[in-house]
């Protein structure tokens, strides 16, 4: 098992064993804290990108993650069959995804389907509604 796989497994165990209201503190107490966990999730998302499913389309997803320490901003950019992520605010995202940190972690490790998060109000979208569907279409994200 790679370090990334072990770290994802550890996050899954936290999501399954720690109440959502305590998840942020539990993740913050881990080595690297919240930033390390979010970097892990976005690296995982990039690794799940399927260029065949994107079919040459492009787009930028801005994530605005609410946490006790403020907001964490990450963007995921798809273009020319490649996918990259970066910290911070993108100048012109196609869609912005607002979500609380515990829900982002649960969604990132496959314990909260994106559609369910949206339908239950845990995930808020602004920008192109069509781009909101692309996260489910362009990425091979297993839900466990």
Q: Residues near 2 by Cβ (< 8 Å), separated by ≥ 6?
A: none
**Residue written as token pair 């993740």:** 27
Angle at 23 between CA 46 and CA 96, to 5 degrees: 45
Supply the pLDDT for residue 2: 79
Confidence at 142, pLDDT banded by 50, 70, 90: low
Query: What confidence tens digit (pLDDT) does each residue in 34-71 have?
Result: 999 999 999 999 999 999 999 999 999 999 999 998 99
């Amino acid at each position: 098992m790679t370090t990334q796989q072990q770290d994802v497994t550890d996050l899954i165990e936290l999501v399954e064993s720690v109440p959502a209201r305590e998840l942020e503190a539990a993740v913050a107490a881990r080595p690297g804290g919240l930033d390390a966990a979010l970097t892990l999730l976005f690296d995982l998302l990039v690794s799940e990108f399927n260029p065949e499913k994107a079919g040459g389309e492009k787009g930028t997803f801005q994530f605005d993650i609410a946490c006790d320490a403020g907001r964490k901003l990450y963007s995921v950019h798809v273009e020319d069959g490649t996918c990259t992520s970066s910290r911070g605010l993108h100048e012109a995202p196609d869609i912005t995804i607002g979500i609380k940190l515990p829900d982002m972690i649960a969604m990132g490790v496959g314990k909260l389907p994106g559609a369910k998060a949206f339908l239950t109000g845990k995930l808020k979208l602004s920008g192109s509604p069509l781009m909101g569907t692309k996260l489910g279409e362009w990425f091979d994200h297993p839900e466990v």
